[in-house]
Copies of this chain bind each other. A is one copy, B any other.
Amino acid sequence: LDAGRMRSARRLVGNLHPAELARLLESLPLRERGVIWEMIGPDIEGDVLVELADEVRNGLIEGMATDELIAAVEGMEIDDLADLLAELPDALNREVLKSLDHQDHERLTQILAYDEDSAGGLMNVDIVTVRPDVTLDVVQRYLRARGEIPDGTDSIFVVDRDNKYKGALFLSRILTADQEKLVGEVMSTNVVPIPASARSKEVVWEFEHRDLLSAPVADEHNRVVGRITVDDVVDVIREEAEHSLMGAAGLDEEDDMFAPVAKSARRRALWLGINLATAFLAASVVDLFQTTIDKIVLLAVLMPVVPSMGGIAGTQSLTIMTRAIALGQIDKTNARRIFRKEVLVGVLNGFGWAAVVALFTLLWFKDWRIGAVIAGAMCINLVIAAAAGFAIPMTMKRMNIDPALAGGVVLTTITDVVGYMAFLGLGAMFLI
């Protein structure tokens, strides 16, 4: 980055949206990242910090003085600030809280009281409420006197004198309905408030399936305490999806692509270690059949085929089940039917590919007996794979483990062990 490029970089940085700046910072190696970070104005530094992956953010915050950080968080939206504070060390946290004015301090404390991963943690407390027994005309005068409703607001909430939720009043209705009508007549009552204690997952479900743009959040007494907007829900959906994809490879979506090599290597080592253990388990199965292999070395040659096919067939069942569970489509009444279907698919594909493999083996090695053995092993392993692909996520769900994260490892361990056992076992029985 020389002087000329510094100028154009500065111009670029000035034009980007916080989220775009965050993606840019994440895609820069550490040194360049520091240079660009310095160019970002303190007015949007806070918004950029919220958008960053955890590890990248922590790296940048470590390099900031406390007063710089306080300047950065000024003017942030309260719900975003709450998300950021949840990630800061306690000492910094206290400093930032001290710097806020009384009203913001109180609002923030309210949000922080809820779990970050709940409706209360997602909500914004900056809400506008009106009473049901006033006319739209009065509402309009009130809103004008109040001033400032955030851009992108589609509705305000109707509450009674105890702040209990009554309904949602769409801004579009205020603008189009007869001004003499009462709020209670015009409001929409089919927008149901989300309990503050609801999990993010349930919030996503509500938004996604009811096509909401925003929703009221209520405490256990049905009092409106905040408002969730769909942009925060979109973030949750994105994070969940990435978590599943990355987690299946033992990775964390919040990691820094440019973390030091040693750190990345250490982090990825865990998954490799688990795999090494399962690989040695498979090897110990093969070890049982040393004498068999010693006599018929062809068995060693064809050994990789059966476990590998089982792994694929099992992963297919596992993926379907994991998704169906995530979508809440599995219950007692249909579980048995799905199990039967998956196993039958396993049987059909087992027999079908067994025939192909037997034929192929016969042509390659001119030995029908080894073809029969591999075909038999294939049938066994594909049926077991289908059953395991069904049973693993069901069991993990019952144990409250996310099947998207660890399901694959357990599955391939089973299909490897069964695959080697079936193929070499049948070989030992019928070929010697």
Contacts and interface: CB of A to CB of B under 8 A. Distances in A.
A213 B341 contact: no
Interface residues of A, number: 118
A162 interface: no
Interface stretch (A81-89, A99-107, A117-125, A352-360): A352-360
Number of this chain's copies in the complex: 2
A279 interface: yes
Contact of A316 (B250, B337, B344): B250
Contact of A231 (B20, B230, B253, B356): B230
A272 B313 CA distance: 7
A140 B175 CA distance: 6
Nearest to A290: B297
Interface string A282-303: 1100110010011001101111
Contacts of A329: 23, 26-27, 257
B144 A170 contact: no
A265 B349 contact: yes
Contacts of A345: 261, 264-265, 268
A261 B341 contact: yes
Contacts of A140: 175
A221 to B, nearest CB: 25
A62 to B, nearest CB: 21
A276 interface: yes
Interface in A175-212: 175-176, 188, 207-212
B316 A268 contact: yes
A276 B319 contact: no
Nearest to A287: B301
Given A241-B241, A251-B319, A276-B357, A301 B305 contact: no
Given A17-B210, A154-B213, A234-B234, 20 more contacts: A147-B176, A149-B172, A152-B212, A174-B175, A234-B237, A257-B320, A258-B337, A262-B348, A264-B341, A265-B344, A265-B348, A269-B353, A276-B356, A276-B357, A278-B308, A286-B300, A286-B304, A293-B300, A293-B301, A304-B307
